[in-house]
A and B are shown apart, each in its own frame.
Chain A
Amino acid sequence: MIALLGPEIAWYLGVAAFLFATGAFGVLLRRNPLIVLLSLEIMLNGANLALIGFARNLGDGKGQIFALTVMAVAASEVVVGLGLVVALNRKRITLDVDLLNTLRG
């Protein structure tokens, strides 16, 4: 078992929660899809930080593997998301998520 160096777990979780909340507000409040995607990434990184913090606290490598998986998923998600943004731009559609409400019931 490696001796723990650095701050306590609570600090890590505090930063993670702050990142997650920032991202979540960004997703909820911003209208530009690019910024929404960016905020999403921040949320994911918050979650990653929590995972790694726990992994370190418990001395268990599985949490780190999870974090790596989340990164891979985030990368692919960004590819899709940016692809959509580019497609919207090409069709000369204003980049505003509130205008994309065709699925209203």
Chain B
Amino acid sequence: MVAGAWICLVAPLAAACLITLGGQRLSRRAAGWVATAACFVAFGGAVASFVGLLTHSASDRQFVSTAWTWITGGSYQSGLSVLIDPLSTFMMLIVAGVGALIVWYSIGYMDGDDEERRYFAYMSLFVFSMLLLVQAGNLLLLLAGWGMVGLSSYLLIGYWHQRPSAIAAAKKAFVMNAIGDATMALAFFLLIQKGNSLEFGVLGGQFSSTVANLIALGLLGGAVAKSAQIPLHTWLPDAMEGPTPVSALIHAATMVTAGVYLIVRTHAIFEQAPKVADLAAGLGAATLLMAGLIALVQVDIKRVIAYSTMSQIGYMFLGAGIGSYPNAMFHLMTHAFFKALLFMTAGIVIHALVDEQDIRKMGGLRQFAPKTYWAFLIGSLALVGIFPFAGFFSKDSILAAAMAKGGAYGYILWAVGLAGTFLTGLYTFRLLFLVFWGEPSAFVREHFHPLGRDVVAFSLAIPVGVLAVLSIVGGWIQFSPWWHPVETWLQIVAAPIVSPASWQEWTSIALSLLLGLSGIAVAWALYGERRLAVPRVAWAQRTLEHKFYFDEAYDALFYEPAVYLAKLLRRGVEQPLIAESGQDLGDDTRDLGGFVARAQTGLVRTYALAIASSVAVLAIVFVIVR
């Protein structure tokens, strides 16, 4: 069990090192297989840990394995330790499992790229970082993993470094994430000051409400930045500049859900700071609504799915914020399945259309790529939460939990969540109808090229198939009105603090199913059958296309003032003080040199006189002083 966890952690790192050091000696294809194999080994290790935990009784499933003491300072110390408990094993299985499938898919998708080796080294590094994050035995190590996933995300978004837009997106993601890292680090400093430890256990200690609020706020800042929630969400849509498997792995299935994991992992502190927990739920609700609305007008296939990711993580934040941790984690799992599936199918579409991502040029792909269509349909149905697909089981229980929280706030969250399901149905099937239905567009007829029957095609198809199956059956693990193994499994780490009654479950299920279906129906009328004209309200359209002006606002608030200040400093300080003073310094030194040079008469006698008189003066001084 312990060995399994370490193997799980180290295997991707080993692959990253091997690919990096192997260089040209490793063929491109081999690099891909090395990375894939390492991820499968990691998955094997995760399964071993899982099985190992199963053999212990339910109350005895938390193990810490420390390799060595990592940092010591005064009475504080942190070990390089991994934690094996139900929550970390849950995440290990998702990260390693979905990760392995996506790295495998990459072999097909990245085939023929100039720098495949670099890509697979980065991917392995990412999987390692993510596993470090979820397996970390204390908060310090978690922060290390947290920073490293940020780094690998930066590297992968900017993978196509010839594109200025990709570099800009990478920088944006890094800066946004760095804000979250900073607030997290501040929270940790406070925690060390008050509790002198960064073990997870310290979070359960008693803190004054101000301290608890500050710590929870700092952690929430990190979670919000990593999970692309309002107000630090603007980097995620831009991150779609990276290769599609990267979008699937990092920006849908694993990294962006790290914020949810963090909240669930540190729920003890959030329970001491209920206002901050409410804030988390509120931010989640706001994000899910806003992202759903923006997704309605996006025209880039990947951006639509990206906004949908933000929206779904909003649900998870909502669930984690109101204290329904198992449901948040369960939705995280099903979301990893169907969102990775959607991204990978979108990747196949993009691949088949020679890197075209604009959905206005697509249409009628159903006739050309029926299997891809079915996979996309399964993913979409799972996303909207239609019975019996995965999303149905996980999303509704979050809504029921919001209802169970009660009070005006709980019901507002519930209503927003329900509105979100309608939007999900609408934007998801808008995408599906626009891309796959209708008459094939001229662009599609001209550019479509089907996959062959080679290793590329199989690498693309098999992971998609596996994820499609998981999107169908993955949700059946838990059906909250009747059976809840996920909740039982996570009980000792994160017991939920709300428990919906049966009528709340069923009401939520019925309403969200109804709203999801009506969203699909509206999408069908507008984009499938095209019976109704798409309503266009100029100001609404403009607001949505500008993504609620967040980028513009941040530009005006932070970027422009910074540039203005920089220019001011240049005009007011640098040029007059630094640039001109440099000139003056040079001139003055030269003048001084000229003055001193006059002592250099060229007459030997003067020198001799100077020496003699100096010696005489020194001699007199010595005699007097003695």
Contacts and interface: CB of A to CB of B under 8 A. Distances in A.
Interface of A: 24, 27-29, 36, 97-98, 100-105
B609 interface: yes
A97 B598 CA distance: 19
A47 to B, nearest CB: 12
B135 to A, nearest CB: 73
Contact of B598 (A24, A100, A101, A105): A105
B605 A105 contact: no
A101 B603 contact: yes
A103 B600 contact: yes
A105 B603 contact: no
A100 B601 CA distance: 10
Nearest to B603: A101
A36 B604 CA distance: 10
A28 B606 CA distance: 8
A104 B604 contact: no
22 contacts: A24-B608, A24-B612, A27-B605, A28-B605, A28-B608, A36-B604, A97-B603, A97-B604, A97-B605, A98-B603, A98-B605, A100-B602, A100-B604, A101-B601, A101-B602, A101-B603, A104-B600, A104-B603, A105-B597, A105-B598, A105-B599, A105-B600
A27 B598 contact: no
Interface string B565-606: 000000000000000000000000000000011111111110
Contacts of B598: 105
Contacts of B603: 97-98, 101, 104
A95 to B, nearest CB: 13
Contacts of A101: 601-603
B602 A104 contact: yes
A16 to B, nearest CB: 14
A80 B217 CA distance: 85
B526 to A, nearest CB: 91
A100 B596 CA distance: 21
Given A101-B602, A101-B603, A105-B598, 16 more contacts: A24-B608, A24-B612, A27-B608, A28-B605, A29-B605, A36-B604, A100-B602, A100-B604, A101-B601, A102-B602, A104-B600, A104-B601, A104-B602, A105-B596, A105-B597, A105-B599
Top 9 A-B residue pairs of the complex, sorted by shortest distance between their CB atoms: A105-B600, A101-B602, A104-B602, A105-B597, A103-B602, A97-B604, A27-B608, A101-B603, A28-B605
Interface string B256-281: 00000000000000000000000000
Contacts of B604: 36, 97, 100
A50 to B, nearest CB: 13
A102 to B, nearest CB: 6
A100 B604 CA distance: 8
B620 to A, nearest CB: 14
A98 B608 CA distance: 13
B623 to A, nearest CB: 14
Interface string B396-437: 000000000000000000000000000000000000000000
B626 to A, nearest CB: 17
Contacts of B605: 27-29, 97-98
A29 B609 CA distance: 10
Contacts of A36: 604
Nearest to A102: B602
A43 B157 CA distance: 83
Nearest to A103: B602
Interface string B67-84: 000000000000000000
Contacts of A104: 600-603
A98 B599 CA distance: 16
A97 B607 CA distance: 12
A19 to B, nearest CB: 15
Contacts of A103: 600, 602
Nearest to B598: A105
A102 B599 CA distance: 14
Interface in B72-108: none
B434 to A, nearest CB: 85
A32 B321 CA distance: 102
B584 to A, nearest CB: 23
Contacts of B596: 105
A24 B619 CA distance: 16
A104 B599 CA distance: 9
